[in-house]
Amino acid sequence: MGITDDVLVVGGGLAGMTAALAASESGASVRLVTDSESTLQQASGLVDVLGYPNPHDGDGDDSGENAEAASPVPNPFDAIESLPADHPYRVVGEGSLRGGLAAFDDATGDLYVGEHTDANALVPTVGGTVKPTARYPASVAAGLASDTRSMAVVGFEGDTDTDAERIAAHLEAAGVPFEVTGVTVEFPGDLDGTDQDTRLAHALDEDEGSGRRVLANRVSRALDDADGLGVDDVDRVGFPAVLGRDRPREIRSALADGLDADVFEVPPAPPSLPGLRLRYRFRDALREAGVALTTGNPVVDHDVEDGRIETVYADRNASRVPYEPQAVVLATGGLVGGGIDSERDRVYEPVFDCHVPHSTDRYDWSDADTFGPHAFARFGVRIDGDARVLDADGDPTYENLTAAGGVVGGYDPATEKSASGVSLATGYAAGRSAAAAVTDSQQPPLTEKR
Amino acid sequence: MTDDAPTDDADAAQPADDHAADCGDCHPANAPTATDGETTETDGAPTATDGGTTQTDGGTAVEGGTAVEGGTVEGETGEFEPIEVFPEAGDADLRPGADDCYKCSTCDTSCPVAEVDEDFPGPKFQGPEQWRLKRSDDQDIDDSISKCSNCMRCDSACPSDVPLSQMHNTARAQYVDEQLDKTSLKYWRNRLLANYGTMAKLGSTFPRLTNAIMGNSLVQTFNEKFLGITSEREFPAFATETFRSWYAKRGGEATSVENARRARRERGEDEHADKRVAYFHGDYANHNTPEVAKALVSVFESFGYAVLVPEQRCSGTPMFANGMLDDARRAAKVNVRNFSELVEDGVDVVCSCTSCSMALRQEYPELFSIEGTATVAANTYDAVEYLRIYEDLDGELADGADLSESGGEDAYAYHAPCHARNQGLDGQTVEVLGQVDGVEAADVGDSCSGISGTYGWKSEHYETSMKVGDEMFEHMEDGDATTGMTECPTCAMQMEHGTGYEIEHPLEVLERAVVDDGESGAA
């Protein structure tokens, strides 16, 4: 008979988790089944909504100019109207985007900031670039590029991911409105920059050997020895994002005391502590909402009856586990995440074989210009305003199948800087319509006790 | 060990010539026939000859007639060294796995050993990187492979489906085969621990005496000083009656068939329906915690299933973890043969230990090419999972006993074993027990318990093991419950060791909830 829940969400990234929360809030019993551990720890922890709408407008003769060189939009909401009609934001609407952001804010609580404004924040990253972002961890708040206070960036000996001097140089070259300098110090204690971020974080959590004080002292000395700003000239100091997993606030405040400056983290390369913290926070939110989590089982097959998905089969190591939900949310990610796949002659969606619009000529899939408008960047299934997946004729493929996040096409997340926002907006829409599709005729929800 | 020998002899005598015909799960190179290789006398028990370098290689080379377990074939004997582009071509081809790794290091972040041991280079090195290094002939497997505890967390952490644990198991086996001194105490200590079932048979024959001896502090000191088995831990006590002898005494299969038929009649089901499961109990439930095995039998019988208990050996889990792949293969052959017969007859396999189900479902197909492996893997389930899929367990629990009235333990600190997590079963127990009135099971977080089977028994790993376990101990103590719960026997040892709590298996609670619910007067 299989495992029965009202809503089955397939995929555990930001979109899937948002869909699960939205469906659960609408009263459905929800199960989230994922192929592997959440990939949020691969992410920087920054949540963008829209930085560069229509990034390839005006691309032309002077190739080599890419979207990054242009200024980001100050307010993503104002720019939605200018997007193409099949962009997910236009399809599910601003209301869903706001709903998704509200769900995110509820789930993350004091871990994240940015809720106070619609405007983009400009966050310096580990690459020395500035990323337009709608929500960001509280730990990076003191580092915003729009802030005019002077800044020092710190790297650790041995850490090849964070080159503090280079970050400072890049920021300066980008024309930030403040003075910035970079220094590299040894991590206190037995560890160094080659050790895992989680170990460095743990050492600071435990304050082994008064590591926090030692670190602050080393940074002060390094700043005074370096040619750039001295420690007294610096208003804020950015560190690699390893400032604690369990006690990040305490660590930042200890370092701030020692340096007499604000302290922040620079969003890192994966795997990232900010991504890990976000993952744990979301997992807690899902548990609180009563969402059942099944992790490590890819969905491999399904049965269809009367235009509805009846049974979904997950592969559990070798045996197949049947799930019989009333509605299904597909949130398996895009080309990188495996939610969309391709062969030499076709692009397809591997779980339900949903329609993925694409040219039959594979040479149309990419652009000759590396940073040009690649068609593949927009590959994905198409949805309607209720996030239902559409077939080639533009009709719902199955009445109880919605989709969210990277598996949805029609937008270019990397150049637009819109991946998280689209996940939140479509996740919210998909979760809500999945819950609405649950009929009254079914058994009481699984999560409800007698 | 004595009663193992005939089993394996039979195994050796059985021709493998139908292997090629229906083995869909192995590489073509494995298909060729010849008589099956285990002609040697020395069954997995840690006796003298087997495990000597020459013997081991000989035994392996014959299996399947080719360089099946290629990694172990080449080596010291020099007798048979096929020249191949990929030295492991006869074995699982690990190259795609290595190529799929894009070095994101997520596995390293999820590794509980790397978290606490700065000298451990982590799963990314042990898997794909070491595999690449090994392409050059003069490269040994790094000693640090022994520090991997085989928790397999890296498998589910990997976003790119790299078969990390398979690569670790293979590297560890090669390390033990080619680099570990077969005369060293460490080798024999590991062999002894890995072949726990052999010890357990002996122990169960004289349970009280053995328990007294193993609890003796002099013996513990000897173990610590001489063998490198930590004296910090108390050996698990052997039950005075094994599960199998209990099962036999109560009338064996006939009784279970009859009980099941009666239950079906009472449930209003077809009395003549063919509802049977084959129970893989493993060594621990047989020798040490028969109450878990008995609970499984009574729960399944109450759902109308006859529970069959075919002859079986250790699942092989401790052997994989110690790089004793030859020992594991011998055990796996017996298990696959005995269970695949039943599976082909339409009987599914259920396990109460999540490492056992892990071995049957994932490790056997990844590591061995034994006929029937894929069939067994595809039809093996965790016991509770099975009832959730094929029975209305939720409904049954909703109508089941209210345990708050029967005075049973009501609050549990549940730890999900890594091997349950790896099968996607980590949320199951809390979900299921949440349906039982009067029972509250709270998850103590997703950290590893740290013991990882035999790992935490080794003196050199004891400290790491306890450091890994710290987070779990803390969370157990933070909660309200004073009884622990888990599916894994060694996780249970660790939970008890770290907190002093009694530890139960979820099946024991289910038994109280669904068996005899008429008598308890609830619902």
- Residue-wise pLDDT for B296-335, tens only, equals 999 999 999 999 999 999 999 999 989 999 999 999 999 9
Which residues in A lie closer than 8 A to residue B104 (C-beta atoms)?
42, 270-271
CB contact under 8 A, A318 and B358: no
Tell me the pLDDT tens digit for each residue of B229-261: 888 888 888 999 999 999 999 999 999 999 999
CB contact under 8 A, B118 and A319: no
Per the prediction, chain B carries an average pLDDT of 81
The per-residue pLDDT for B47 is: 31
Choose the weakest-confidence range: A206-215, B27-36, B95-104. Answer: B27-36
Instruction: Average the pLDDT over A46-63 and give the result.
Output: 76
What confidence score (pLDDT) does residue A303 get? 96
Selected residue of B164, B389, B443 to mutate for chain A interface (largest A Cβ count, 10 A): B389
**How far is residue B236's CA from residue A323's CA, in Å, rounded to a whole number?**
39
Is the CB of residue A118 less than 8 Å from the CB of residue A141?
no
Q: Identify the residue among B387, B431, B440, B467 best suited for mutation to test binding to A, counting A beta carbons within 10 A and taking the highest.
A: B431
From the options 1.20.1250, 2.40.50, 3.40.50, 2.30.29, give the CATH code of B402-520. 3.40.50
pLDDT of residue A14: 96
- % of chain B exceeding 70 in pLDDT: 80
Q: Domain B95-178 falls in which CATH fold? A: Fumarate Reductase Iron-sulfur Protein; Chain B, domain 2 (1.10.1060)
Task: Give which of B25, B375, B423 to mutate to test A binding, by max A Cβ within 10 Å.
Answer: B423
Contact (CB<8Å) B389/A446: no
Does residue B63 have a pLDDT over 60? no
**Closest chain A residue to B428 measured between Cα atoms?**
A294
Chain A with chain B: Cβ pairs closer than 8 A: 109
Same domain, A421 and A317: yes
User: What is the pLDDT, as a whole number, of residue B21?
Assistant: 38
Rg of chain B (C-alpha set): 23
Distance CA A276, CA A202 (A): 13
My answer on whether A138 and A222 are in the same domain is yes
pLDDT at B492 over 80: yes
Q: What angle do CA A144, A148, A152 make, to 5 degrees?
A: 70
pLDDT value of position A311: 96
What pLDDT does residue A58 have? 62
Name the residue facing B118 among A191, A292, A293 (closest C-beta): A191
- B111, two tokens: 């590794």
Same domain for A214 and A305: no
What pLDDT sits at residue B82? 52
Which residue of chain B has the CA closest to A323? Answer: B389
Q: What is the pLDDT of residue A382?
A: 98
Q: Above 80 in pLDDT, residue A3? A: yes
Q: Which residue of A has its CA nearest to B115?
A: A199
Cβ within 8 Å, pair A271-B104: yes
Residue type, B334: V
Mean pLDDT of A66-88: 85
- As a whole-number percent, the residues of chain A with pLDDT over 90 amount to 77
Residue of B nearest to A190 (CA): B118
Amino acid at B67: A
pLDDT band at B216 (very low <50, low <70, confident <90, very high): confident
pLDDT, position A286 = 96
Chain A residue whose CA is closest to B391: A1
pLDDT score, position A439: 56
**Residue A449 located in a structural domain:** no
d(CA A57, nearest CA chain B) in Å: 33
Nearest by CB to residue B109, choosing from A2, A4, A196, is A196
Q: What is the CA radius of gyration of chain A?
A: 23
Q: Which of A223-237, A433-447, B302-316 tops mean pLDDT?
A: B302-316
| pLDDT confidence bin for B437, thresholds 50/70/90 | confident
With 60 as the cut, is the pLDDT of residue B501 above it? Answer: yes
B352 CA: distance to closest CA in chain A (Å): 16
pLDDT of B157 above 50: yes
Residues B183-191 have a mean pLDDT of 86
- Over residues A11-25, mean pLDDT: 96
CB contact under 8 A, B423 and A447: no
B441 contacts on A by Cβ (under 8 Å): none
Question: Residue A59 sits in a domain of what CATH number?
Answer: 3.50.50.60
What is the chain B residue with the closest CA to A34? B424
Give the minimum alpha-carbon distance from B171 to chain A in angstroms, rounded to a whole number: 22
* Tally of domains in chain A: 2
* CATH number of residue A150's parent domain: 3.40.50
Cβ contacts of B361 on chain A, cutoff 8 Å: 316-319
Share in percent of chain B as helix, strand, coil (round to 5): 55, 5, 40
Distance in Å, alpha carbon of B286 to nearest chain A alpha carbon: 25
CB contacts of A33 in chain B (<8 Å) are 424
pLDDT at B275: 96
Q: To the nearest whole angstrom, how far is the Cα of B462 from the nearest Cα of chain A? A: 20
Query: Can you give the pLDDT at residue B188?
Result: 86
Query: Is the C-alpha dihedral spanning B157, B160, B163, B167 positive or negative?
Result: negative
* Range of weakest confidence among A110-114, A268-272, B46-50, B272-276: B46-50
Separation of alpha carbons B328 and B454, rounded Å: 15
A239 plus A358 within the same structural domain? no
Mean pLDDT for all residues in chain A: 91
Tell me whether residue A116 is in a domain. Answer: no
Contact: A318, B434; criterion CB under 8 Å: no
Question: In this structure, are residues A351 and A34 in contact, taking their beta carbons and an 8 Å threshold?
Answer: no
Question: How far is the alpha carbon of B331 from chain A, nearest alpha carbon, in Å?
Answer: 20
Q: Are residues A178 and A242 in the same domain?
A: yes
Give B312 or B76, the one with higher predicted confidence: B312
Q: Higher confidence at residue B94 or residue B501? A: B501
Reported as a pLDDT band with limits 50, 70 and 90, residue B89 is very low
Q: How confident is the model at residue B410 (pLDDT cuts 50, 70, 90)?
A: confident
Range of the domain at A148: 126-266
* pLDDT of res. B2: 40
Helices (H), A264-412: 273-288
Q: What 8-state DSSP symbol labels residue B129?
A: I
Residue B48 backbone zone (phi > 0: left; psi -120 to 50: alpha; other: beta): alpha
Sort out which chain B residues have CB atoms less than 8 A from A190's CB and list them.
118
Of A3, A36, A318, the CB nearest to B389: A3
Give the closest-approach CA distance of B502 to chain A in angstroms. Answer: 26
**Can you tell me which residue has the tokens 């299921």?**
B432
Whole-number pLDDT of residue A366: 94
**What is the reported pLDDT for A317?**
79
Q: Has residue B15 got a pLDDT over 70?
A: no
Same domain, A130 and A247: yes
Judge: B421–A39 Cβ closer than 8 Å, yes or no: no
How many residues comprise chain B?
523
Is the CA virtual torsion B507, B510, B514, B517 positive or negative? positive
On whether both A300 and A388 belong to a single domain, the answer is yes
The answer, as to whether pTM is greater than 0.90, is: no
Would the CB atoms of B105 and A270 count as touching at under 8 Å? Answer: yes
> What is the rounded CA–CA span in Å between residue B421 and residue B152?
9
Strand partners, A182: A153
Looking at the fold, whether A240 and A291 belong to one and the same domain comes out as: no
- Vertex B437 angle, CA B434 and B440, to 5°: 45
Contact B377 A319 (CB under 8 A): yes
Q: Spell out the domain ranges in chain B.
A: 2-73, 95-178, 185-227, 243-391, 402-520
Instruction: Please tell me whether residues A214 and A307 are part of one structural domain.
Output: no
Which helix (DSSP H) or strand (DSSP E) does residue B411 occupy? strand B411-414
pLDDT of amino acid B70? 38
Where a domain ends, among A232, A266, A300? A266
Q: Does the N-terminal peptide bond of residue A271 adopt cis geometry, omega within 30 degrees of 0?
A: yes
Residue that terminates a domain, selected from A214, A239, A266: A266
Over range A412-429, report the average pLDDT: 96
Query: Is residue A366 in some structural domain?
Result: yes
More confident site: B410 or A184: A184
CA–CA distance, B488 with B509 (Å, rounded to integer): 15
Residue in B with minimal Cα distance to A192: B118
The pLDDT value recorded for residue B343 is: 97
Regarding whether A238 and A139 lie in a shared domain, the answer is yes
Residues A307, A237, single domain; the answer is: no
Domain boundary among A266, A299, A333: A266
Q: Taking CB atoms and an 8 Å cutoff, what residues of chain B touch A314?
A: 424
The per-residue pLDDT for B195 is 86
pLDDT above 90 (res B160)? no
Which residues from A are below 8 Å from B when comparing CB atoms? 1-4, 33, 36-37, 39, 41-42, 190-191, 195-199, 202, 270-271, 276, 292-297, 314, 316-322, 337, 446-447, 449-450
**A387 CA: distance to closest CA in chain B (Å):** 26
Mean of pLDDT values over B63-72: 37
Residue B425, min C-alpha distance to chain A (Å): 7
Whether A98 and A131 share a structural domain: no
Region A386-411: mean pLDDT is 97
pLDDT at site B296: 98
Q: Dump pLDDT digits (tens) for A33-53.
A: 998 888 888 888 999 999 999
Enumerate residues 6+ apart whose C-beta is below 8 A from B96.
none
Q: Which residues contact A90 (CB under 8 A, 6 or more apart)?
A: A80, A83, A84
d(C-alpha B305, C-alpha B259), whole Å: 8
Tell me what pLDDT residue B81 has.
57
